[in-house]
Structure 1
Amino acid sequence: MKKLVTAASALLALMLALPAAAQFAKPEDAIKYRKASFTVMGAHFGRVGAMAAGRVPYDAKAAAENADIAAAMSKLPWAAFPEGSDKGETRAKPEIWKDSAKFKEAADKMQAELTKVAAAAKTGNADALKTAFGPAAATCKGCHDNFRKD
């Protein structure tokens, strides 16, 4: 039941993502939205990573479900970086707005890699998942290194 609720929540969030940018009445609304998106994506990606690293037993069904949610969530946070949302409770670096093309390229690359992780997870092959996970994790790290304050 918990997985069904999580999947339904992810689907709802995805459906709401497109008009999200227009819904941010205040910069802090955008910050809350992107933080929530990253939190959910990271939680599901972390579950996949734990299996890929052998910290928890591999479960093909759980890997596929979590990878799908992480891939779907990877589309959400980017609309929540409007001008003015660089102030307040955020760890976003100014480089996001100064070099928005590089930021978009990093976001697109991360989304593509998470799509590969989801496809690998659907094969039911733990080795395929491990192979796809590394490059996806590297895109996350790259974004954190370049665009997130510690």
Structure 2
Amino acid sequence: MKALAAFAFAAATLAVAAPASAQFAKAEDAIKYRQSALFVMGQHFSRIGAMANGRVPFDAKAAQDNADVVAQMAKLPWAAFGPGTDKGAPTKALPEIWTEQAKYKEHADKLEAESVKLAAAAKTGNLDNLKAAFGAAAGTCKACHDNYRAK
């Protein structure tokens, strides 16, 4: 019984300590995962942008719902940019992601932070707050795309 408990503990420890890229069976799985997470995030972000830019009427509840999704999705794609995931499926990710890991992580962290601010701004129900937070979050998207995404 003690051996089984020790084995279970060791297996759990190893699972927690394994690199994020090990979560995916193949590089192709990681690429599909990150592309899907970024697609969903982009869809919800675009809905907020349509309100912030006056293309659709402001709906405080819809803005809040979409901003909450963006804030949650902003946490997901980064684990799928691990070593060996630069090839394996068609991708617009530039090689600099893997050669400039620290800089790339700064961009990811900034997007996560701005997404949290966007969600907080949406909760106020104030369009001006939403516009300001949307602009800052959109700037983080653009900066990362300019440096790390093929056109």
TM class by smaller structure: 0.7 to 0.9
Instruction: Tell me, in whole angstroms, the C-alpha distance in 1 between the residues paired with 2:85 and 2:20.
Output: 14
Change (3 A) 1:102 1:56: same
Give the aligned length: 132
Equivalent residue for 1:83?
83
The match for 2:50 is 50
The aligned residue for residue 7 of structure 1 is: none
Moved over 6 A (4+): none
The reply on whether 1:108 has 2:109 as its aligned counterpart is yes
- Structure 1: segments with no counterpart, 5+ residues: 1-18
Matched AA of 1:39: F
Displacement after TM superposition at 1:20 (Å): 6.3
| SS of aligned partner of 2:82 | coil
- What is the SS of the residue equivalent to 1:43? helix
- Give the gaps of 5 or more residues in structure 2: 1-18
- State the secondary structure of the residue aligned to 1:72: helix
Pairwise mapping of residues 28-47 of structure 1 onto structure 2 (< 5 A)? Answer: 28-47=28-47
Compared CA separation, residues 25 and 135, structure 1 to 2 (3 A): same
Amino acid at match of 2:60: A
User: How far apart are residue 22 of structure 1 and its match?
Assistant: 3.2
Residue in structure 2 matched with residue 127 of structure 1 by the alignment: 128
| Alignment match, 1:146 | 147
1:69 aligned residue: 69
**TM-score with structure 2 setting the length:** 0.85
Quote the residue 1:22 is aligned against.
22
How far is the alpha carbon of 1:84 from its aligned partner? 1.3
Which amino acid is 2:78 matched to? W
Given that 2:67 and 2:115 are in contact with CA atoms closer than 8 Å, whether structure 1 keeps it comes out as yes
Kindly indicate whether the alpha-carbon contact (under 8 Å) linking 2:49 and 2:134 is maintained by their aligned counterparts in 1.
yes
| Counterparts in 2 of 1:36 and 1:20: CA distance versus 1, 3 Å | farther
Q: Which has the larger radius of gyration?
A: 2
Q: What does residue 16 of structure 2 align with?
A: none
Deviation string 1:10-53 (CA, Å, 9 cap, x unpaired) is xxxxxxxxx96433111000000000000000000110111000
CA distance in 2, matches of 1:48, 1:118: 10
Instruction: Please report the RMSD computed on the Cα atoms of aligned residues, expressed in angstroms.
Output: 1.2
TM-score, normalized by length of structure 1?
Answer: 0.85
Shift, 1:118, TM fit: 0.4
